[in-house]
Structure 1
Amino acid sequence: MHLTKIYVLFILIFGVIQVDRTVVAQVHPLAVTSHSLKGTVIDSLTQRPIEYATVSVQDSAQKTLAITYTNSEGVFTLPIAQAGNYVLFASFVGYGTRRIPCIVQPSVTSQELRPIFLAADVQVLESITVRGQRQLVEQKPGMLVYHAEDDVTNLGGTAADVLRKAPVLSVDADGNVRMRGSQNLKILINGRYSGQMARNPADALNMIPSDIIKSVEVITSPSSRYEAEGAAGVINIITKKSLSQLSGAMEAGFSNLEAVFNPRVAFSTGKWDINAYAHLHRSRVKTESNLTRQSIDGTYQLNQQLIMNNARPHGSGDVSANYEADSSQVISMSAAWWFGNWPASSNQQYQIQQGTQQQAFLQQTQTQGAPNEGLEVSLSYLKRLRKPEQSFFIIGQYNNNFRDDFNYYARQVDLENRLLYQEQNNNHMHTNEWTFQTDYAHPLARDGKKILEIGLKTVLRDVTSGYTTLISSSTDPAQLQISAARTNVFDYSQNVLAAYAQAKWTASGGWFAQAGIRLEETYLNGHFQTTLLPFTNQFTNWVPSATLVKKWRDSNSLTLSYTQRISRPSIIDLNPNIDARDARNLVTGNHDLRPEVMHQGELSYSLSAPSGLFLNTTLFGKQTANSIEDVIQVNTSGVSTTTKQNVAANKQYGMNVSTSFSLLPDWSLGSNARLSYLNFQSRYLGIQSEGWSAGINVNTTYKLAGHYTLQAFGDYDSRAITLQGYQTSWLYYSLAVKKEFPKTKVTIGFSAVNPFQAFASRSDVIIASSFESTTANRYYNRAFKVTLNWKFGEAGNQRSRRGVDNDDVKSSGER
């Protein structure tokens, strides 16, 4: 592997550090005119400044001479009348008090102290309860944060239900998440990319209970520290981590479509903090679709009805432990596992007219469980160094998706139940993945306001997909024989080496700037056991990013950002195994795919008023080259084949608006709206598709006397443009009521999803040069759920935990 570019980048980085040290060493203090002590108060674990910390000075007689509070950046200035020996005290609620002897020299009337680190003291608040209300949505540079734990309506659901309420995002009927209309995004859990997300994000989100979610970071403009993968952006789901001696919850929910059980426990003993949760879930998915497809020249017409009704038992669990050796060192360990069956059995009826000939037959397809099992372990070390914001972090992660089977058996009969055809496809996939990442933050100024961050990362991924297809002949439909053309073993490796450097600068007047560059080298190798030729690809990506923020009056901010992103194809997109569960609509992979590259710029304004009003408005524009799109082609017999191809480019311009406020003291309302114009162009297919799309969701909560809470949520998506057509509009809504029993910490909830209609509808329309088709889908998602939640113990402080940002492979919701 050629690592010359990475070596050159790191030589430049360390050269900057050495130059900075030389410059700092030559700086002399300027003459000042008054005695004062200046410094910064910092959280010893998170390295973040502590606002409103109390700082005081006492003389030798223990008389307090001056007292002040730190500002939003943790900075304080204490006036001193005369030189002498003093003792400085720094304290804040929830932290221990620091006592620091200091000497004020007569010749040095302005003295800069070393950063003062305060360690958290969880015992301080044992007998005090502090209640407060913060906005559900908060803006940070490059991202919007949805504080899901503060939304009382997130009871008894899954991560998919939480993401429906997050800004910028939309979740469709199948549970697929889109950011600004695109599914090419990465979903992280506590900064880690999980193997279950690679298989199918919609299924993986159903494995995460809403009760454990603390917040959701919607990162629309990721910095260079993040992996370049995920053209649309990154979603980071932060789970709850309690530091109390013992706490947890037991949650159970039942409805006509699902049953769920979610136990959670956390405890802290000295230097150890341990958190664990489990999720057991059985869901039922029922859909119907009616497909009509006809050729432009009128030579054939297909009418097809499909019914799917499947139960999907699945579960997951996670155990994490943090060992705090001292206030500057943390060792973290975690293990996660998942299991589940995801059947997609169906009954289909076909009516085909080709010329003067007519044909009708039935097909029953059974999937044999579609089991999926995996394990993930990680170990990390975080070291906080002496200077403000100076830290070193290293992590290793191993992911083993050791069972990812998808086996189906299809049987075709005529209207008199005579056997016409049989097919059996067995596909076993296994994934091994190693990830290593290290990050170093170096302050370029003593106050920590100028920071250089550098890092290295490698992802080593090996995937094996073995598939066997047995088919029958028209002359002997009862006999199954191996199809050599559709039987193979596909071995695929994807190795990514990356290095990044970025600088952060916090200036006076509310200015903040961040800029960086990331280098990624990707090496792809694939070979087949028989027939198909091996392939090898290698490509280099330089990925820049920049953000500029202006903040004033602590409530208004203006942010300008630019980022470049890429999306690499997953093995499911590459795998040539033909999915023929639908005899007239085949799906297969394309091993010639290359990554797509996206450029995006955005300008956003954010307002956070003391009254609780939050408003964020973002204008964005993005352009994608070499876009990976689903392409549907139909042969002369009317059979369609769907595969992903690099055949298009697209441009998108739009606006997102997020707001939350209180109509009355007990009545709050939040809303997220999106509007965009999308333009697809494909010279290869001779297609130009363009149009507007919009969506809005509204979430309102009203608190009644007696600890009752009422909630209503609605989400509407307008018609959405695709490369070869469009999707019709979509409506999702829910109603809920909750009753809390504070003394016993028990909560009972009742919710209804789409209660006034048996199903929700959405159609897919394809308009091509040789055919037109319409698929009318019905999603039977009307549900009535009862949820019981019991919490025990005391809620402790939250401690942040780093993970690998392993978002370097494009997920696929299709098999």
Structure 2
Amino acid sequence: MRPIFLSILFFFSVVFGAHSQNKQNFKVTGKIKDASTNQPVEYASVGITNQQTNAIVNGAVTDTSGYFEVTGLPSGTFTVTVDFIGYQKRAIKDVIISGSSKTVSLNTITLTPTVNVLAEVTVTGNKNIVENQIDKIVYNAANDITSQAGVALDVLKKVPQVSVDIDGNVELQGNPNVRFLINGKPSSVFGNSLTDALSSIPASQIKSIEAITSPGAKYDAQGTGGIINIILKDNKLQGINGNVSLTAGTRLENGSANLNFRKNNFGINAFFSGNKQLSSRTPSTQDRLSNNVTDTTTTRLLQNGFQDFKRSGYRSGLGFDWTISKKDNLIGSFGYNSFSSSGSGLTNINQTTYNQAAIPILAQDILRNSSSKNSIGAFDWSLNYIKKLKKEGQELNVLYSSSFGKPRNNYSQIQSYNGESFANSGTMGNTPGNDKQTNISIDYAHPVKKGFIIETGVKTVLQDIKSIADISVFTPAQNQFVHDPTQSYQLSYNMKIYAGYLSTTFSMFNWLNIKAGARFEHTDVKIDYPNTSIPSYNNLVPSLIFSHNFKDDQSVKLAFTRRIERAEYREINPFMNLSDPYNITAGNPLLKPEIGNNFELGYNKPFKNGGSVYIALIERINTSDIKPYTTFYPSYMIGDSTYQNVSVTNRQNIGIEYNSGVSLSGSMPITDRLNLRGNFVVTQKRVVNNLLGGNVTNGTNWRFNLNATYQLPKDLSLEGFGNYSSAINTIQGKRPQQLTYNFAFRKQFYHKNASIGFTATNPFTKYISQVTTVKTGNYVATNTVLVPYRSFGISLTYKFGKLEFKKGKDQGNDFLHNAPSTEN
């Protein structure tokens, strides 16, 4: 905990140092709104300049309601400057502060969007690609050239503090237990295969990604690593408009279409996207040495083979928003997602057993033919009612969302033994299931006074999972697969979460901004599985953020959040995957929730040329830490079948994990045409493994990525991106290093309504070699996988329709529907 106390000491020394210089008590207040939509402009910069000396006196940043308060001002005549990306800068001169009144209210100040007119098309100014906000990092992906031919996983690689490995595993600040949302709402598609789900969303559909590292009490407590919210593109302009995107490549193909219609106070949005990862061959080897302490023999297993892997999926949806009046708004959506992945291949196996004198006593040559497939089809629907009450900022929000998914996993494998009387053996498994999730929430926000807001709400989460495991065993006498009732089962899993929260946002001593809250969650779990019982449990989840704004829009924050990681469907289901009978994977219905205590001390510095830098000290402490764990068995019984020389991997509550790290991210326009963005993270990981009597594992991992964009004349852009992650020790071995890189260019034409792009990924190497080691007390394995990663792609996009800002006479325009993080 020493780094935490040093961080807190540093934070308060900075804040009190700033306060010691602040001896004046005049202040200026006001509210910033968008001139075209009348919406609050949050995180706008407000600066106070002395008109006689032109010296900057103080500044502030608007909150979520657009309100600002600049304190500690002397008497005099000042200029108030308001600025935000995408808006015309505004200056209000001759603001006089004097006399007995300590507060000067500027009421409402409107900002006009930056507009460039091209023929009949209206284009607004672009936001920064990376925005650092008090509780999250926002990555605006619309202008990300190198990712447009890819999928959501490719975009996530560029989000600061997010890492994605070759297999599609995602971590936020070094923690893989991340809560994923789409447009602020959960979906059952993430519960079956997260990698498949993220691979089914084309990058061209993504508007932005929010990496919420310090979620407040309003958010669900699920996800010790934090929350990643994927916001899809939409359009709130009048008329009919849309866009089409197509990508063809050597490894990935996808296409998407959006259509928007808006008439006055009613709008409809429809979308469809599909993607396909073409079949590719992945060679792999395993060299494994295991000891049987019972008969003192040693067995060496050599596996050499390949898998032909492919993936496909599509997404579709329809949504509407209806501004019933200036005070009432109704938003609804319905969607269907479907995706699948499959693999098939051959593996040559050589297994040799040695006695204590290292003399071979048994040798086997085996050929295995295997195949597997994961798929899901899921419906999602939601209805959201927003009621604005009498006070400015007083709001009631009622949200109902639900999803119903039908996951299905199956595999088959048959082994042929050279020169043995029983020439064949094998198993086949099929696990159809249902996963239904329902979320009902009511939120209320009440402004007590300027700068003092109280929020409260309740939520119910209902999840019902049913799964069937139909297992068959190959019978040589009948030369066919026969149903095995001893391995087959039915699973029923029901979880209910009842939650309530209270949070407040206020300012203390006119220099310290505080956002504090607490959330209480009661979890009730019922599972119908032999010898399995999960008691209900309660969790109190506090959150606290201190922040202070300096001049020139600098800010510092100190945040503490507590989070919970409950197991997902794929982790709970005890289904044993025997596609490789020597390396079995399974779920664990007895997993307990992981508890995470997260600290972050961050400093943000924007520059006048549009650049910015953010540095954070991070400490994450997870108890009942959940990790994959491998156990070796010389002999393992499943039903009435016995498997020899087997490793079984499932997720276990290991013990305690400490993550201490430093994250540095920023962007810098080197010239008017060249811009650099980068992210560097160093993490020191310490894991106390209670399954091995408190054994301690230490490991240091560092990750670095760099993105360079160069703007050529005639709307031609060049971009390069590289990402590196070092190897790191795990509790049972070592995880490999990884290096990926992309090059791309894009040409815009037809008044920037159309573009063509070309992308090359790892063009100089066909494969990325991944060498992973796993060690236990009686087992050591080296696994090598050659991942086919080189690819080339071409993408086409086209925007159509007349875009115009036009306010209907009955349209209140009091709501902003750009899919914020609405989950609570």
Q: TM-score if structure 2 supplies the norm length?
A: 0.82
Identity percentage of aligned residues: 25
1:359 aligns with 2:364: yes
Residues 652, 94 of structure 1: alpha-carbon distance in 2 compared, 3 angstrom cutoff:
closer
Q: Is the CA contact 1:391–1:440 (under 8 Å) kept in the aligned structure 2?
A: yes
Unaligned runs of 5+ in 1: 1-33, 54-68, 78-91, 96-107, 808-815
Q: Structure 2: which amino acid aligns with 1:620?
A: I
1:227 corresponds in structure 2 to 220
Q: Structure 1: which amino acid aligns with 2:734?
A: Y
Q: Is the CA contact 1:241–1:799 (under 8 Å) kept in the aligned structure 2?
A: no
1:496 corresponds in structure 2 to 497
Aligned-residue offset at 1:130:
6.4
1:395 aligns with 2:393: no
Q: Structure 2: which amino acid aligns with 1:414?
A: Y
Give per-residue Cα distances to partners, 1:169-220, cap 9 Å, x unaligned. 1111122211122210011111111111122221111222222222211111
Q: Is the CA contact 2:60–2:550 (under 8 Å) kept in the aligned structure 1?
A: no
The 2-side partners of 1:701 and 1:110 are apart by: 48
Aligned-residue offset at 1:419:
4.1
2:390 corresponds in structure 1 to 386
1:463 corresponds in structure 2 to 465
Q: How does 1:77-226 map to 2 (within 5 A)?
A: 132=125, 134-226=127-219
The 2-side partners of 1:782 and 1:50 are apart by: 41
Residues 305, 806 of structure 1: alpha-carbon distance in 2 compared, 3 angstrom cutoff:
farther
The 2-side partners of 1:37 and 1:625 are apart by: 46
Higher strand share: 2
The 1-side partners of 2:496 and 2:335 are apart by: 23
1:665 corresponds in structure 2 to 672
Match of 2:288 among 277, 293, 310: 293
Aligned-residue offset at 1:801:
4.7
The 2-side partners of 1:178 and 1:696 are apart by: 14
Q: How does 1:237-248 map to 2 (within 5 A)?
A: 237-244=230-237, 245-248=239-242
Structure 1 residue matching 2:765: 3-state secondary structure:
coil
Q: How does 1:610-629 map to 2 (within 5 A)?
A: 610-629=608-627
Aligned-residue offset at 1:118:
8.0
Q: Is the CA contact 2:86–2:127 (under 8 Å) kept in the aligned structure 1?
A: no
1:563 corresponds in structure 2 to 561
Q: Is the CA contact 1:305–1:349 (under 8 Å) kept in the aligned structure 2?
A: yes
Residues 293, 596 of structure 1: alpha-carbon distance in 2 compared, 3 angstrom cutoff:
same
The 2-side partners of 1:760 and 1:362 are apart by: 26
Q: How does 1:675-754 map to 2 (within 5 A)?
A: 675-686=682-693, 687-743=695-751, 745-754=753-762
1:505 aligns with 2:506: yes
The 2-side partners of 1:38 and 1:581 are apart by: 66
Give per-residue Cα distances to partners, 1:718-747, cap 9 Å, x unaligned. 012322111121111111111111337221
Q: Structure 2: which amino acid aligns with 1:357?
A: L
2:334 corresponds in structure 1 to 335
Give per-residue Cα distances to partners, 1:609-667, cap 9 Å, x unaligned. 11122100111111111111111011124210011111321111011110111111101
1:16 corresponds in structure 2 to none
The 1-side partners of 2:734 and 2:246 are apart by: 39
Q: Structure 2: which amino acid aligns with 1:364?
A: N
Aligned-residue offset at 1:802:
5.6
2:20 corresponds in structure 1 to none
The 2-side partners of 1:120 and 1:392 are apart by: 28
2:13 corresponds in structure 1 to none
Q: How does 1:418-433 map to 2 (within 5 A)?
A: 419-433=423-437
Structure 2 residue matching 1:535: 3-state secondary structure:
coil
Give per-residue Cα distances to partners, 1:464-522, cap 9 Å, x unaligned. 0001101034x637143222221011000011000011110146855321011110000
Residues 387, 508 of structure 1: alpha-carbon distance in 2 compared, 3 angstrom cutoff:
farther
Structure 2 residue matching 1:537: 3-state secondary structure:
coil
Q: Is the CA contact 2:121–2:803 (under 8 Å) kept in the aligned structure 1?
A: no
1:648 aligns with 2:647: no
Residues 142, 477 of structure 1: alpha-carbon distance in 2 compared, 3 angstrom cutoff:
farther
Residues 94, 405 of structure 1: alpha-carbon distance in 2 compared, 3 angstrom cutoff:
closer
Structure 2 residue matching 1:480: 3-state secondary structure:
strand
Match of 1:438 among 439, 442, 462: 442
Higher mean alpha-carbon deviation, 429-438 vs 305-314, is at 305-314
Q: Is the CA contact 1:47–1:384 (under 8 Å) kept in the aligned structure 2?
A: no
Give per-residue Cα distances to partners, 1:298-320, cap 9 Å, x unaligned. 61111112311123221011221
2:409 corresponds in structure 1 to 406
Q: Is the CA contact 1:46–1:800 (under 8 Å) kept in the aligned structure 2?
A: no
2:536 corresponds in structure 1 to 538
Q: Is the CA contact 1:286–1:310 (under 8 Å) kept in the aligned structure 2?
A: yes
Give per-residue Cα distances to partners, 1:408-450, cap 9 Å, x unaligned. 22111134798411322111011112110111111111x2x00
Residues 94, 175 of structure 1: alpha-carbon distance in 2 compared, 3 angstrom cutoff:
closer
Give per-residue Cα distances to partners, 1:259-278, cap 9 Å, x unaligned. 21111111211111222221
1:319 aligns with 2:318: yes
Structure 2 residue matching 1:639: 3-state secondary structure:
strand
Q: Is the CA contact 1:291–1:303 (under 8 Å) kept in the aligned structure 2?
A: yes
Q: Is the CA contact 2:394–2:445 (under 8 Å) kept in the aligned structure 1?
A: yes
Q: Is the CA contact 1:734–1:752 (under 8 Å) kept in the aligned structure 2?
A: yes
Q: Structure 2: which amino acid aligns with 1:627?
A: D
Q: Is the CA contact 1:313–1:340 (under 8 Å) kept in the aligned structure 2?
A: yes
1:771 aligns with 2:779: yes
Unaligned runs of 5+ in 2: 1-25, 47-58, 71-83, 88-99, 355-360, 635-643, 806-814
Aligned-residue offset at 1:258:
2.1
Give per-residue Cα distances to partners, 1:330-372, cap 9 Å, x unaligned. 10000111112321323222111122211121111123x5431
Higher mean alpha-carbon deviation, 388-397 vs 418-427, is at 418-427
Residues 385, 51 of structure 1: alpha-carbon distance in 2 compared, 3 angstrom cutoff:
farther
Give per-residue Cα distances to partners, 1:657-701, cap 9 Å, x unaligned. 101111111011100111011011113224321111101011111
Higher mean alpha-carbon deviation, 665-674 vs 301-310, is at 301-310
CA-atom RMSD in angstroms = 3.3
Structure 2 residue matching 1:149: 3-state secondary structure:
helix
2:799 corresponds in structure 1 to 791
Residues 188, 49 of structure 1: alpha-carbon distance in 2 compared, 3 angstrom cutoff:
closer
Aligned-residue offset at 1:280:
1.1
Q: Structure 2: which amino acid aligns with 1:346?
A: G
Give per-residue Cα distances to partners, 1:125-180, cap 9 Å, x unaligned. 89795664643211111211112124344422211111111000111112221112
Give per-residue Cα distances to partners, 1:210-269, cap 9 Å, x unaligned. 222222111111111111110111111122221222221111111111221111111211
Higher mean alpha-carbon deviation, 380-389 vs 536-545, is at 380-389
Aligned-residue offset at 1:398:
1.6
Residues 479, 291 of structure 1: alpha-carbon distance in 2 compared, 3 angstrom cutoff:
same
Residues 696, 112 of structure 1: alpha-carbon distance in 2 compared, 3 angstrom cutoff:
closer
2:19 corresponds in structure 1 to none
1:265 aligns with 2:259: yes
Structure 2 residue matching 1:161: 3-state secondary structure:
helix
Aligned-residue offset at 1:793:
2.5
Give per-residue Cα distances to partners, 1:357-416, cap 9 Å, x unaligned. 11121111123x543111010001011222232111011112110x21112221111347
Residues 298, 603 of structure 1: alpha-carbon distance in 2 compared, 3 angstrom cutoff:
farther
Residues 648, 346 of structure 1: alpha-carbon distance in 2 compared, 3 angstrom cutoff:
farther
Residues 510, 190 of structure 1: alpha-carbon distance in 2 compared, 3 angstrom cutoff:
farther
Q: Structure 1: which amino acid aligns with 2:410?
A: N
Residues 714, 112 of structure 1: alpha-carbon distance in 2 compared, 3 angstrom cutoff:
closer
Match of 2:244 among 243, 250, 254: 250
The 2-side partners of 1:744 and 1:143 are apart by: 31
The 2-side partners of 1:215 and 1:93 are apart by: 16
